[in-house]
Structure 1
Amino acid sequence: MSTWRFDQAATRRSLVRMIIKDEYRFSCVDGEGFRDFCATGMHRFQIYSRQTVSRDCYELYVAERLNMKKLLQLECQRVCLTTDAWTSIQRINYMCITAHFIDRKWKVEIKKILNLCPIKSHRGENIGKAIEKCLNDWGIDKVMSITVDNASSNDTVIIFFKKMKN
């Protein structure tokens, strides 16, 4: 048998992962139920403010982004992208860019979201520029394919990339 020891830092990291994975609001740490749970099951756990939890989530994002960037640069020969754009109920245009690839060990890496960003419009040139910026930000220069929906503006996106490669 071994003795379990409470680890504040590990518990804090676990809280951050739970908030991200289960899509909880940062303010969940302010809730009476959460505080009761911690008092019962983890009475040594120091509960942090929603601002601290928010900062911790951002720090985890930065670390995971760096890991993903290394994976893309070291383990990936070619990247296949999918992209989709839509307009929110607030009339804001958004686009999501997702990478799919096979690493050097032939492990399929599917659905790695690279970017979810606002775009000026659904015009092909704006979409093309947003994809180009995303690829530059991630250091991706070897794209095998881009899968898009059947919107007519996507023809312009492909023309934009053909010009970019020349």
Structure 2
Amino acid sequence: MPFKEHKQKELRNSVCDWIVTDGIPFNKVNGDGFRRMMKKINPQFQPPCYQTFKQDLDLGYKTANELMKNMLNSTYNNTSITTDLWTSCAQNGYIGITCHYLTDQMELRDILLCIEPIKYPHTGSHICETIKTKLIKFNLIDKIITIITDNGSNMIKEIQE
């Protein structure tokens, strides 16, 4: 990759990192202030289109996911998870799963595995399948020793399953 192209990609990655780290909307890179600032930093820089940012973010997500899977599988044998489900007035549901484990040095580690939409209805069976799918994805299914959740009847049913 030519030096100029490499520098453009490096700068694009920095902008992508800024968007993710600070929770900035994608359209901010099209603002006049951002463009003026970038022209001072690098006159040749052209903000990438939305699709390019989306591809960069998707690649970053997949890379981080693989690193997290590798770290989880190489650092412990037993883990606990906490999980909760939120439902909006419009019946949209979201499930969160956090993994907790101790390192060999007895340091507590917490990793957010997901906060993602869950389809309605939010039955115990549906919640159970969603959690199992995520635990299988991270190779955790045989390492869980404790599951902590709230007292929602659907969550209790899910844990019993």
Q: Give the TM-score of the pair, scaled to structure 1.
A: 0.82
25-34 or 127-136, larger mean C-alpha shift: 25-34
Partners of 2:89 and 2:23 in 1: CA distance: 21
What RMSD over aligned residues (CA atoms) do the two structures have, in Å? 2.0
Partners of 2:39 and 2:109 in 1: CA distance: 40
Partners of 2:103 and 2:14 in 1: CA distance: 28
Equivalent residue runs for 1:105-116 within 5 Å: 105-116=105-116
* Paired-residue identity, %: 27
Q: CA deviation at 1:73?
A: 1.0
1:15-65 Cα shifts (integer Å, max 9, x gaps): 111111111122222222211121123334332112111110111000000
Letter in 2 for 1:86: W
Partners of 2:29 and 2:90 in 1: CA distance: 29
Corresponding residue SS for 1:7: helix
Unaligned runs of 5+ in 1: 1-5, 161-166
Letter in 2 for 1:148: T
Aligned to 1:38: 38
Unaligned runs of 5+ in 2: 1-5
Aligned to 1:147: 148
Aligned to 1:21: 21
Partners of 1:26 and 1:64 in 2: CA distance: 20
Q: Give the TM-score of the pair, scaled to structure 2.
A: 0.84
Q: CA deviation at 1:89?
A: 4.1
Aligned to 1:135: 135
28-37 or 103-112, larger mean C-alpha shift: 103-112
